[in-house]
Amino acid sequence: MKLFKTSLTMALLGTASAWAAPVIPTPFPEGLAGNYQALLYSQDGDAGSPVGLVTLAVTTKGALTGKLTTLENKTYPLKATLSYADTESLVANAPAGTATAPTIQIVRGKNIPNLSVNLTIKDFEENDTLDIFVNEEATTIGSTENGFKQITFAKGALPYAAAGAYTAAFELADTPGQNDPAGSGYAVGSIDAKGLLKLTGKTGDGTVFTAALPAGPDYRYVTFLNPYKRNDSFFAGKIILTERNSGGFHMTPAEAGYDFQWKKSSLLPKITDKSYRAGFGPLDVLVSMEPWTVPAKGETVADLFGISALEIFNIGYDGVFPGTAYTKYIPVKAGLTAQNTLRIAAGGAGSTSGFDPSLWAKIITTKIDPKTGKFTATVNIEDTIEPTTPTGKSKTVKRKVAFEGVLLRPDSGSLASIAQGQIILPPKDVKTETTTSSMFAFSGNIVEDAIYAAAAPTAGTYKGVIIRQPNEPEDSQDAIIPYATGTPGPPAGANITFTISPDLQTLNFQGRLLKLRNDGRGTNNIITYDDLPGNITNSCLVHLQLDGTTKQVVGIFATYNQFGRSGFSVITRISNFLQRDNSIIKQ
């Protein structure tokens, strides 16, 4: 009886099996096709350090190709076919399904453990994600659950909302160690209509890098660069843009932790490296990125920032430069000029006066590229090397210190720096030392220049009347200072007009532009202008007498030097201290 029941049960099961519908695999969703990126980290939750980058291309049939970039400064190809399965889950926000690849094996060479890659694409209604785990034998060495599908644009779609030009700065999150570079990295670049972000810049030690980064959802980008082409080295992290209060998009630094990490391996140092041969890091880096606007015709960079000719900002430093030996070379306050350069307003201890830009011009040259927002400067410094032997001689070493960085247009209400970058200091002795780097920044604390504020009572346009002094010869009016064109000047009794610039640096007199040579506001209340050095046979010298209380011009004495008919130089004058009849009036 038992045998009969068993036989009957097996027959029924066999019949039921014959009646069952065939299993049909779930077709691969065409919506998962596209390009993917994933930045890998050494710890779960995108913690630890960046260790690699995965890029994938997936077809509508689930065929996968791509590459894995690793800390070895190598890339390995990836290839597989994805299989799709619906997800049966009651959890909110769960994916509709998952596309999984068989484990991909990567052979790295003799005596080097293989890598295995496991990856899964999660099918969400919006923003599909990519999970990746890279294992070396049984140990996970890199992973992320935040890989993303790159955005695509249908034909006729509107341009990417964040398209435009940008400047970016990469500042260390913590105080660098004694042997670490202290400079801020920087980059200039743009985002095109399809979201591609292109950057060109330098890391904080002056190493060049370039990047072309496709956009993910929510204005996300990832990058994994190796500017040193050295094993276990990288400059990598995430850029996530958000909307600004004043329009456009930007990235503000992380309030905790870091946005990027930066490392130059200590393995196999190269004697040819110009700086930090022993390596450093990983160092935590904070990223600032702001939109850049090219000034319109007739505009200057100062106009973009709303900085007037009378205003200045602080220049701050961090790191090996400045040192106490170089304070006289260091500008600490500056403004922006109409020529898109810096006007140095003050320097460190022992430096030249801000009243004399001609002296600063011998020390520092500056330039701002209005098209990109890049700032460059060169500072000339000198060191005296004392002899090492009793009979030796001291030696003067001249060096050019390079400043490079970018201007950052802060969002409305922001007190962030308006410029940031690196200072590259070459060594005194290239045989025994290497270059070092430090950081500079222009503070957003913009104030009125004390030089201009003090000059305001004196600066401006004046009118006066030419008066013949007692005992002047009758033909003295023929010797009146001529206009810049060489035509005779006005005779006695005529009106004259002259203008002193807001910083007192120049005097426009009779169409001649004269430079400040002596500022006696704090002593005898006489300020002097001339157009020397130049042609001594065609030069002008003007002394302006100031009122001791108001500091306004109340008198003028001017001389014009030229060769006379007899071939020798004669000095003639226009007038002498016109305060006698109050004829000089400030307009």
Strands (E), 137-270: 139-149, 164-172, 185-191, 197-202, 208-213, 220-225, 234-240, 242-243, 249-250, 260-264
Q: Flag whether 498 is in a domain.
A: yes
Same domain assignment for residues 123 and 269: no
Please answer whether residues 521 and 551 qualify as being in contact, where contact means their C-beta atoms are separated by less than 8 angstroms.
yes
Could you give the C-alpha distances from 175 to 202, 317, 386, 468, in angstroms and in order? 20, 13, 33, 69
Question: Residue 581: inside a domain, yes or no?
Answer: yes
Identify the domain containing residue 100 by its residue range.
30-149
Number of domains, the chain: 3
- Characterize 144-171 residue by residue with b for buried, 16 or more Cβ atoms within 10 angstroms of its Cβ, and e for exposed: bebbbbbbeeeeeeeebebbbebbbbbb
CB 423 within 8 A of CB 439: yes
Residues 34, 63, single domain; the answer is yes
Q: Are residues 440 and 528 in the same domain?
A: no
More reliable by pLDDT, 474 or 388:
388
Verify that 187 and 289 share a domain, yes or no.
Answer: yes
Residues 101 and 249 in one domain: no
- Which of 402, 433, 451 is at the close of a domain? 451
* 61: CB partners within 8 A, 6+ apart: 28
- 162-189: pLDDT as tens digits: 999 999 999 999 999 989 999 999 999 9
- State whether 179 and 297 are in the same domain: yes
Q: Are residues 445 and 478 in the same domain?
A: no
| In the predicted structure, residue 24 carries a pLDDT above the cut 70 | no
Whether residue 547 has pLDDT greater than 60: yes
pLDDT digits (tens, 9 = 90+) for 437-450: 999 999 878 888 88
Q: How confident is the model at residue 383 (pLDDT cuts 50, 70, 90)?
A: confident
Examine the domain organization and report whether 206 and 232 are in the same domain. Answer: yes
The pLDDT of residue 4 is above 80: no
Asked if pLDDT for residue 377 goes beyond 50, the answer is yes
Percent of the chain residues topping a pLDDT of 70: 83
Instruction: Please give the torsion angle defined by the CA atoms of residues 221, 119, 125 and 217, in that order, rounded to the nearest 10 degrees.
Output: 0
In the predicted model, is pLDDT for residue 64 greater than 50? yes
Q: Judge if 309 and 179 occupy the same domain.
A: yes
Whether the CB-CB separation of 219 and 213 falls below 8 Å is answered with: no
430 shares a domain with 500: no
The answer to whether residue 202 sits within a structural domain is: yes
Judge if 124 and 250 occupy the same domain. Answer: no
For 16, phi then psi, to 5°, come to -65, -40
Do residues 487 and 435 both lie within one domain? no
Q: Which of 83, 117, 149 is the last residue of a domain?
A: 149
Is 17 within a domain? no
Question: Which of 420, 451, 482 marks a domain boundary?
Answer: 451
For residue 8, being part of any structural domain is answered with no
284 token code pair: 């935590």
CB 181 within 8 A of CB 281: no
Q: Which two tokens stand for residue 430?
A: 């290239």
Given a cut of 70, whether residue 468 has pLDDT beyond it is no
DSSP string, 405-470: EEE--PPTT----SEEEEEEE--S-TTT--BEEEEEEE-S--EE-HHHHHHTTT-EEEEEE--PPT
Which pLDDT tens digit goes with each residue over 300-335?
Answer: 999 999 998 889 999 999 866 666 678 888 899 999
Cα separation, 367 vs 378, whole angstroms:
9
Structural domain includes residue 310: yes
Q: Residue 215 falls within a domain, yes or no? A: yes
| pTM: predicted TM-score of the whole model, two decimal places | 0.81
In a domain? residue 2: no
What gap in Å lies between CA 582 and CA 556, rounded to an integer?
12
Dig out the tokens for 464 from the structure: 């006066």
User: In the chain, what is the straight-line distance between the N-terminal and C-terminal CA atoms, in Å?
Assistant: 128
pLDDT 10s digits, 487-506: 666 666 677 889 998 888 89
